[in-house]
Amino acid sequence: MSYAKLGGLSLHLAILSLSAIGGGVVLVAPDIHHYVAVQNHWLTSEEFSAMYALAQAAPGPNVLFVTLVGWLIAGLPGALATTLAVILPSSLFALGAAKLAQRRGVDAAKPASRWTQALRHTLAPMSAGMLAAAAWSFLSMSGAGLLAVGLALLAAAIVYGTKINPVYLIAAGALAGAAGIL
């Protein structure tokens, strides 16, 4: 991969990192997959999904799957460029916002202002929607059938409506996959 293509990928990821409300998981769907697998054919959908699954199994931030994607596409320079492209812009934005809040005398111990509360109430449904889009993207990539879609919806309802630890549902899904049910 040329440095110009790597620069294009890094710029694409940097822009996405600023719009990743809800965390790195939502960053994946559907844009990064589309950019690297569909548009540029640097990875197959299967390779992309495998890199994501491997990163989720490892300890650390969820967004580090882009490091593996970058590594697969362009080796060490790709891993470094993609990681920095995802981490730096949003981190610098958060630091700038914290510095601005500090200058304005915002105290984290005090009740949130009406503006802050409105922002939280606005971002929560956006985050949920982006997470749902990510789930749909992965189901589509994997060629999931009606049973898998139904089980995903059931798992989401269980997580939303109960206090059951999601790890148990992940384990159940892994067992169902290993048993060949899905």
Which pair of tokens denotes residue 164?
């059951």
pLDDT tens digits, 120-146: 788 778 777 777 777 777 777 777 788
Say which residue, 52 or 161, is predicted with more confidence: 161
* Residue 59 main-chain phi, psi, to 5 deg: -70, 155
Q: Is the pLDDT of residue 111 over 70?
A: no
Say which residue, 37 or 29, is predicted with more confidence: 37
Residues 6 or more apart from 78 whose CB is under 8 A from it? 1, 6, 9, 69, 70, 71, 72
Q: Is the pLDDT of residue 108 over 90?
A: no
Q: What is the spatial distance between Cα 77 and Cα 174, in angstroms, rounded to a whole number?
A: 33
Residues 76-96: what's their mean pLDDT?
89
Output the pLDDT for position 84.
Answer: 93
Rg, Å, the chain Cα set:
19
Say which residue, 8 or 20, is predicted with more confidence: 8
